[in-house]
Amino acid sequence: MSDTPWLTVLGLGEDGLDGLSPATRQVLEQAEVIMGPPRHIALIPQGKAERIEWPVPFSDGLPILSGLRGRKTVVLASGDPFWFGAGSVIARNFEAGEWTALPGRSTFSLAAARLGWPLEGAQTFGLHAAPLTQLRPHLAAGLRAILLLRNGAAVAELAQYLTETGFADTQFHVMEALGGPRERSHSLTLTEALQGDFNHPVCVALDVARHGNAIPKASGKPDEIFETDGQITKRPIRALTLSALAPQRGEHLWDIGGGSGSIGIEWLMCDPTLSATTIEPRKDRADRIRRNADALGQDRLDVVHGTAPDSLTPLPKPDAVFIGGGLSTALLEWISETLPAGTRLVANAVTLESEALLTQWHEKLGGELLRIELAQASSLGPRRGWKSSYPVIQWSVTL
């Protein structure tokens, strides 16, 4: 580890050198290499430093940067490099003593200042390299959100997406090149945003109207938001299952026998630090899980097409396991013998054979055995009566 950082990550605004302090300008003047996107490099006057354009995809630039060790290097980034920027990626790939950071004004701060919005009351999204569907769990009446987009064309794509999801009355605030001489701001309807012509770099602030199909925040999301062939843990059972799984910050879930992926997807919706892997033996269902996860903004769900326990060995170890399909003695033996103490296990069963198996393992390992019986009112001739669902046996235990 070097005592003196050779690498500086510098947050640059659209005003170029005008927005930098004298000390920060001196760092640029003393640099041997300046590396960054072409747009950022163009904001810096020509000097003695070698200039290297950061390639696309972004990951291709890391080996190049690594090869510059020993030379005073400045990497240019937008605004605050640690707010949906390059700073965190560089920090993960280089030792702490190798680099330092000089953040600039973030686009989010500039946008909030233009709109008069309290920044703590707005949600911020970096969608310049992420799908628009990441908005889906958050779209609801009264939402104020500030988004970074990849280019001007993405404004129309965002307007189209909001129209398709039922939020067509949302107010659009489009801001281009914030903080620089090219800055422009527009307050538009979605129709105007669809027809507009906007220049990169662009961010959009959304003031979501009181229309659209918002997804509830509670566990047990509506069944209708999932594409399914009928193989799905229904809403009331799903709510009880998520409660038993008890997700905590930073934890990883195995969802064995994913079906429609509803358990893994809802697990991820609980907190952005959670991760999950769904294991599904049928290819068509694995593909359906992938579509559901992407449509609901949970693209970080890992979908494995395979059987358990055969497909489990190479996977990162879980903090919690849900068995919704493929329950067997072999699977339970593998889990109890392989996974570390403290792992939480929840298994649901409907058939008499599966119920007998869970009863046996409850006697062996303890935990909690729950019988869930539900009935819904339905037509019974000219009147109504209760129509019962198959009872579900739920076993939950900490290994």
One DSSP character per residue, 367-380 reads -EEEEE--EEEEEE
Tokens 């903004």 sit at which residue? 297
Which pLDDT does position 124 carry in this prediction?
97
How is residue 208 written in tokens? 């979501």
Alpha carbon distances (Å) from 277 to 169, 238, 254: 36, 17, 5
Rg over alpha carbons for the chain, rounded to the nearest Å, is 26
- Please name every residue paired with 101 in a beta bridge, in sequence order, or none if there are none: 9
Which pLDDT does position 3 carry in this prediction?
65
- Please name every residue paired with 10 in a beta bridge, in sequence order, or none if there are none: 76, 102
First-residue to last-residue Cα distance in the chain: 41
Residue 1 has pLDDT above 50, yes or no: no
Residue 162 has pLDDT above 70, yes or no: yes
Query: What span, in angstroms and rounded, lies between the C-alpha atoms of 301 and 255?
Result: 10
Per-residue buried b or exposed e for 15-49, using 16+ beta carbons within 10 Å of the residue's own CB: bbeebbeeebeebbeebebbbbbeebbebbeeeeb
Which pLDDT does position 97 carry in this prediction?
92
Alpha carbon distances (Å) from 141 to 160, 211, 213, 257: 18, 6, 9, 35
Segment 226-248, tens digit of pLDDT: 999 998 999 999 999 999 999 99
Categorize the per-residue pLDDT at 302 as very low, low, confident or very high, splitting at 50, 70 and 90: very high
Q: Cα 178 to the chain's mean position, in Å? A: 26
Verdict on whether the full-model pTM lies above 0.75: yes
Higher pLDDT, 196 or 365: 365
Residue 345 has pLDDT above 50, yes or no: yes
Segment 184-215, tens digit of pLDDT: 999 999 889 998 899 989 999 999 987 778 99
Average pLDDT over residues 280-297: 97
How much of the chain exceeds pLDDT 70, in percent?
A: 99
Domains and CATH numbers, the chain: 7-105 (3.40.1010.10), 108-207 (3.30.950.10), 223-398 (3.40.50.150)
Query: What span, in angstroms and rounded, lies between the C-alpha atoms of 263 and 303?
Result: 13
Segment 143-158, tens digit of pLDDT: 999 999 999 999 999 9
Give the length of the chain.
399
Which pLDDT does position 19 carry in this prediction?
87
Alpha helices in 94-216 (DSSP H): 107-115, 153-164, 190-195
